[in-house]
């Protein structure tokens, strides 16, 4: 508690005033509070790092989900466009087939008409 002066001779009787004892106790208490405050600050910093890390992980996960949803929507859009193009091709093919059949019938009618 630093009540005595190290320069004093050893073996002498030491007397301490109540004011000196009170000051020593106050100093010890303030040191104790300072140590608790340092520990609290360290604990708060640690907690803040954990919170920051969790927020960053949440944002990263959120971005990943948004990116995956965008990719999935793009894939679905491409599949829809591909199916649409395929349907158009099939419709054109069917139209050509029917036109060819009509032409054949016309050719056959013309031939039978000539005969």
Per domain, the residue ranges of the chain are: 17-89
pTM for the whole structure: 0.52
CA-to-CA distance for 15 and 18, rounded, in angstroms?
Answer: 10
CA-to-CA distance for 68 and 54, rounded, in angstroms?
Answer: 21
Q: Could you read off the pLDDT tens digit of each residue along the chain, which spans 115 residues?
A: 566 666 666 777 677 788 888 888 899 999 999 999 999 999 999 999 999 999 999 999 999 999 999 999 999 999 999 999 999 999 999 999 999 999 999 999 998 888 7
């Amino acid at each position: 508690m630093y009540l005595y002066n190290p320069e004093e001779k050893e073996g002498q009787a030491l007397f301490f005033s109540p004011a000196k004892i009170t000051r020593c106790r106050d100093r010890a208490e303030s040191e104790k509070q300072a140590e608790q405050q340092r520990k609290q600050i360290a604990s708060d910093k640690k907690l803040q790092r954990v919170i920051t890390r969790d927020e960053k992980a949440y944002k990263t996960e959120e971005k990943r989900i948004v990116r995956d949803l965008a990719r999935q929507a793009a894939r679905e859009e491409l599949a829809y466009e591909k199916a649409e193009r395929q349907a158009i091709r099939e419709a054109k093919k069917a139209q050509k087939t029917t036109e060819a059949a009509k032409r054949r019938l016309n050719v056959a009618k013309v031939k039978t008409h000539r005969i």
